[in-house]
Each structure stands twice: as structure tokens, then as C-alpha cells.
Amino acid sequence: MPLMTTRPVTRRNAVFGITMAAATLARPSILRAQSTARVVVVGGGFGGAACARALKRAQDNLQIILIEPNAVFTSCPFSNEVIAGLREIEAQQFGYDKLAAEGVTVIGQAVTAIDPARRSVMTSDGVALPYDRLVLSPGIDFHFEALPGYDDAASEKMPHAWKAGAQTLLLRRQLEAMEDGGTVAIAVPANPSRCPPAPYERASLIAHYLKTRKPRSKVLVLDAKDSFSQQRLFEKAWKELYGDMIERIALSQGGRVTSVDAATKTIVTEFGNYTPDVANVIPPQRASRIAEIAGVTDATGWCPIDPVTFESKLVKNMHVIGDACLGGGIPKSASATSAQGKACAAAIVALLAGRAPEAPRLTGVCYNTVAPGYGFSLAGNYQPRGEIFAEVEGGATSPVDAPRELRAREAADAERWFQTITADTFG
Ligand SMILES: Cc1cc2nc3c(=O)[nH]c(=O)nc-3n(C[C@H](O)[C@H](O)[C@H](O)COP(=O)(O)OP(=O)(O)OC[C@H]3O[C@@H](n4cnc5c(N)ncnc54)[C@H](O)[C@@H]3O)c2cc1C
């Protein structure tokens, strides 16, 4: 596909108050002639925005272009609170004005094609943008082929709510419309998947909603795993706070969902069929489609990387961070992703200067809130070990037998973590 174009920039391409910058972008030949290096970042979520900001702060004369189709980013962390009616969606939303004010050029388009030979990306309005280095942080897409019966149309009846926004609000409305005495089923996929503890946090907060509004109701967790992160902490909290309201059917009990029928709202598992009142189906996942188009995914559907530079093992000059990459022991979380964005920025600055990048040590912190005022956490450190990231010493998890004061403190810490990471990422 020919990527270079002189097609004039349209108004749609010139967004977020950067009309002049975008107009300049219509002439790639001019841009090639500039003296400073250009880094293009695809995806303005936790990884892409953190990386773009860190690149600009590290070296002001670099030209940093962030390409993201949505004018407003809606955060998944804390979206379970929105589903449970504890928070409004607006508290999850962040724009890109502050990044633009710091000198990052923000383009409101999706990237539709990438030409590694010409080092150029094409946006949905047909404009080609050359790059010296490309960073992909496009997050996840769903592996619909792995769950027969489930697709975008089915998600309108059986929402996944695994990308925050309209799906989050749809699941909340379905809960609100459910009669007391109903059943909410949550289908949990196997790993690797985005934020492995989040389905259990969701089960907890939905149980909190039901306990306070529809106490005869039930949460059924249909799980493709036998064990899960922070399991003892979750199960203790469930018993303490919700009695028998949450029932979990694990993999070895036949809990893995094998197909769904959206017309009858039926979930089929290895053990039997379920027709819950509300069906939250979280499908299996893989790296976002643009990663596959770029040629950086392998047979797993994820992107293998060099853990020191985050450069793709399959395509040169292209770096992949965040949920899309095969990170070894590092979790697919906003916290770890933001750390990857900054480390990747440091590696790119070194590579552009002809220096060898230093091996990063990354820290990820994961908070789970199981009820208002009741939280716990897990912190991990990760370093390159051979071809992947491995968890190294220094991690910590909340004790299982902690007093309620600690749970209350950790719930407050979770809220502070969210304010800090979103301010750090989006300004
Ligand atoms: C319910 C839930 C709760 C969670 N809670 C937590 C938590 O408490 N703590 C935590 O650390 N993590 C949490 N996570 C995980 C966290 O949301 C992800 O790990 C994080 O968002 C990954 O960042 P990313 O940059 O890889 O992807 P994203 O943040 O999803 O960003 C990807 C961006 O790329 C854009 N994009 C995609 N394709 C293209 C394209 N072709 N062109 C241009 N742009 C494109 C998308 O529009 C999107 O804005 C949670 C996740 C879920 C689902």
C-alpha cells in the first residue's frame, strides 16, 4: 500500500488546538528534512501518554507526535466503581491539552497502516507521517474467534466493559434495571489478559451494589482459571463482607466459558449452561489490531520485545509497551504500563544519541477495592532477565489478616494512587 501522500490536511486531522502543527504534518517530505529526530507514539492511554510526555521532558528538541483517535481518554482503573454506582464516568476522563501545552503534537486520528521499510505511519484520513522511532501502546483487542457467539454485536447485550466508556455505562444500566433476586454472571478469561485481578474486584463491587440495593441477588463468577492473583485476600473479604452472595466456579469445576448465545443471553461452560439476568462476558484478549497490522505480534497474539529497549523483536525501530507487549512476569496494568512508557522514553533518547540504554527496574502497584473503605494492594519489581521481564526481590502484598484500619487506609491509598498516576500521565 502506498503510504506517502501529499493529500491536504482536513479539519478532522487538526484537533485539540494544534491546527498549525497538524497542517505542517501534511508534507512528510518537509518533515524528513528537519534536523531533530521524530518519535511517533501510537495510542494515548496510560503507556502512550506517559511515554510521549517523558520523551518531551527528557529532550525538548525531539519532535514528539502522539496519535490517538479519541479526544478524551476513559480510564479502566476505577471503572469498576462506576459500574457499582460509586463514581461517575466523568471522574475517569482525561484530555490531552496539557500534553499539547508541553509541546507534544497530538493528532486525533487512528493509525490504519504502518510501513516499517519507509518508517512511516498512515492515519485514518490518509495522511502519512514519517518517524525515526515508533512507539506502539495501543492496548488490547478481543480475540472473538476464541469465544464462539461473542462479537461486537453480542457485547451490546452481554457487555464486556473491559474497555472503559460506553460499555461501562451499559453494564451499570443493566445492573440498575435488574430485579432484586436476580443473578449477575461474570465470565473471566484465562491469562494473559488485561489486569488479571480486575474481574474479582468487579465481582466484589457488584456484590456491594447488590447488598445495598438488591440483597436477594447473587454474583456468579465463571472462571477459566483455577487460581488468581491475591485470591486469599479476595476470598476472605468476600466471606466477611458478602457471605454467600458471590459464588465462583473455577476451571477445574467446569467454570471456563466455551461459547455464548447473545439472543437468549446464554453462557455455555464446560459444566453447564447459565442464563443470568445480567451477563458480563470478558472475552479472551490479544494485542490491539494495529500491532498485528504493524507485524509486531507473534503466534500468541501479543508482541515480543527486548526488555531493555522495548524494541520489537520482529520489526526494527518499533517499540511496543503496555498491555500489547509480551512482558514476561510484568502484569498488564496501568501502573506497570506507565513505568514502561517512561523507561522506553529513556531508552529511545539513549538510542537516538548513540548510547547504550540502561536496563530498567520497573515497579508496578496494584490496588483492589472490594467495598468502599476496604482495599488491599500488591507491589512488584521487574527487571530484564534474558529475553523477558522477571519479577525480582522487593515486592510486597497486603497481609491476609490485617485489621480493618489497614484496609481503610489502603482504600484511601488506592484513590491517591489514581489521582497521582492520572496527573502524572495526562497532566
Ligand atoms: C476493569 C479494569 C480495571 C483496571 N484497574 C486497574 C488498576 O486498578 N490499576 C492498574 O494499574 N491497572 C488497571 N487496569 C489495567 C489498565 O487499564 C491497563 O493495563 C492500561 O490501560 C494499559 O495501558 P495501554 O497504554 O497499554 O492501553 P490503553 O490504556 O488501553 O491505551 C490504548 C490507547 O491506544 C489507542 N489506540 C488503539 N488503537 C489505535 C490506533 N490504531 N491508532 C491510534 N490509537 C490507537 C486507544 O484508543 C487507547 O486510547 C484495569 C483494567 C480494567 C479493564
The per-residue pLDDT for range 31-83, each reduced to its tens digit, is 444 568 999 999 999 999 999 999 999 999 999 999 999 999 999 999 999 99
Q: Which residue's C-alpha comes closest to atom 53 of ligand 1?
A: 162
Q: What pLDDT shows up at residue 343?
A: 98
Find out whether the beta carbon of 279 lies less than 6 Å from any atom of ligand 1: no
Q: pTM for the whole thing?
A: 0.93
- Rounded to 10 deg, the angle between the 231-242 and 198-213 helix axes is 0
Mean pLDDT along residues 246-270: 97
Nearest residue (CA) to ligand 1, atom 27:
139
Structure confidence at residue 35 (pLDDT)? 61
Sign of CA dihedral 30, 33, 35, 41: positive
194 lines ligand 1 (CB under 6 A): yes
pLDDT at residue 1 tops 80: no
**The pLDDT of residue 308 is above 90:** yes
Q: How far apart are the first and last CA of the chain?
A: 37
pLDDT of residue 208: 98
Q: Report pLDDT digits (tens) over 168-218.
A: 999 999 999 999 999 999 999 999 999 999 999 999 999 999 999 999 999
Q: Point out the ligand 1 atom lying closest to the alpha carbon of residue 138.
A: 34
- Protein residue whose Cα sits closest to atom 29 of ligand 1: 45
Please state, rounded to an integer, the average pLDDT across all residues of the chain: 92
322 Cβ below 6 A of ligand 1 = yes
The DSSP string of 226-259 is: SS-TTHHHHHHHHHHHHTTSEEEE-GGGT--EEE
SS3 115: strand
Q: Kindly report, residue by residue over 73-113, the tens digit of the pLDDT.
A: 999 999 999 999 999 999 999 999 999 999 999 999 999 99
Contact assessment for residue 135 and residue 42, using Cβ atoms and an 8 Å cutoff: yes
Residue 114 has pLDDT above 50, yes or no: yes
Amino acid 327: pLDDT:
86
C-alpha cell at 325: 507487549
Q: Is the CB of 108 under 6 A from ligand 1?
A: no
Pocket test for ligand 1, best of 96, 127, 337, 421 (most atoms within 8 A of CB): 337
**In 10 A of CB 157, how many CB atoms?**
16
323 C-beta closer than 6 A to ligand 1: yes
> Which residue owns the Cα nearest ligand 1 atom 41?
111
Match 435488574 to its residue by C-alpha cell. 178
